[in-house]
Structure 1
Amino acid sequence: MSIETDIKQTTPFKTPYQRVMVNLMFTSNWLVDSQSQVMKPFGLTLQQYNVLRILRGQYPNPVKVSDITERMLDKMSNASRLVDKLVAKKHVLRTECPSDRRAVDVVITEPGLTLLKKIDVHLNEWDEIMRSKLSEEEAVSLSQLLDRLRGSV
């Protein structure tokens, strides 16, 4: 289905650049909504899931809240608040950093790791959906184009 059909637009876009911008925003929102539905049964938001993934990537080493903030996909997220919510759910532990008492170290717990393993099963289904829509070469090419658009390449 075309972006024009999805948003019920009857007049053509003025430029292909406007079309791609709207298409990217629409697709981004679609992906966020879809991923949010995957997280809902696990009692997580996408931002909380992002924090858990960051911590799993560093496990067993602790990560400072400031480092989590730098690595978040959603730069508007309040990492401190997210960590507090994950502590309350017993998915992470928060401790004072021994080398800098103003900083806070965060580490994922065993229950947090177990939860991520359960979520991974559901996200593998997303890999299959993506494989049915894009070849591996197309996925690589699309990622490279998106990197270039953001100015990374």
Structure 2
Amino acid sequence: MSLEQDIKQEKFQNEFHKASINILYTGSWLYNVHAAYLKKFDITPEQFNVLRILRGAHPQSLMLADISARMIDKNSNCTRLVEKLRQKGLVSREIREDNRRQVDIRVTDKGLAMLKKMDLNDRGASFLSVFENLTKKETRELNRILDKLRG
């Protein structure tokens, strides 16, 4: 379905305006698809982002500031997200003996197992299935254009 049909708007100021609205609309749509998929695992997209970051650092731990700096949504309350994940047993927090102000955070085996379960679906049943109508070449081009836009 076209953007015009989805948002019921026929005209845009120009193609740049349309592209801007299209990116915002598509980002929101993709977020909602992702959130619906993650609901099966009882986590939010923001919590998934924290787990993804910690898995990337595994087996090393990260401090809260390191996680915050790597978040997709910079407005996320990282402290609250980590605490929710800790309560679910998906991450651990450890106060450093040599610096009581530093808290090391790492993904637990349970968290890694859950991420692996999500990954097993790859494009099939996962939220990545929304990309199945794009080729790898088109996906690379999309990534190149989005990187160029932010550059």
Please indicate the TM-score interval, normalised by the length of the shorter structure.
Answer: over 0.9
Q: What residue identity is the alignment partner of 1:40?
A: K
Q: What residue identity is the alignment partner of 2:84?
A: K
Structure 2 unpaired stretches of 5+: none
Distance 1:123 1:29 in 2: 21
The 3 A distance-change label for structure 1 pair 93 and 4 is same
1:99 to partner: Cα distance: 4.6
Counterpart of 1:61 in structure 2 is 60
Distance 1:104 1:77 in 2: 19
Do 1:38 and 1:122's aligned partners in 2 also have CA atoms closer than 8 Å?
A: no
TM-score of the superposition, structure 1-length normalised?
0.91
Give the alignment of 1:10-21 within 5 angstroms.
10=10, 12-21=11-20
Counterpart of 2:46 in structure 1 is 47
Q: What residue identity is the alignment partner of 1:66?
A: A
Give the alignment of 1:70-89 within 5 angstroms.
70-89=69-88
RMSD (CA atoms): 1.4
SS at match of 2:102: strand
SS at match of 1:95: strand
Distance 2:106 2:130 in 1: 32
Do 1:83 and 1:92's aligned partners in 2 also have CA atoms closer than 8 Å?
A: yes
1:137 to partner: Cα distance: 1.4
Give the alignment of 1:105-120 within 5 angstroms.
105-120=104-119
Q: What residue identity is the alignment partner of 1:97?
A: R
Distance 2:117 2:136 in 1: 25
Distance 1:122 1:7 in 2: 31
The 3 A distance-change label for structure 1 pair 85 and 92 is same
TM-score of the superposition, structure 2-length normalised?
0.92
Counterpart of 1:26 in structure 2 is 25
Distance 2:117 2:33 in 1: 17
Counterpart of 2:144 in structure 1 is 144
Give CA deviations for 1:93-150 in whole Å, capped at 9, x if unaligned.
10113453212110111111111111113453244541x3212111111111111111
Percentage of pairs with the same residue: 40
Counterpart of 1:133 in structure 2 is 133
* Bigger strand share: 1
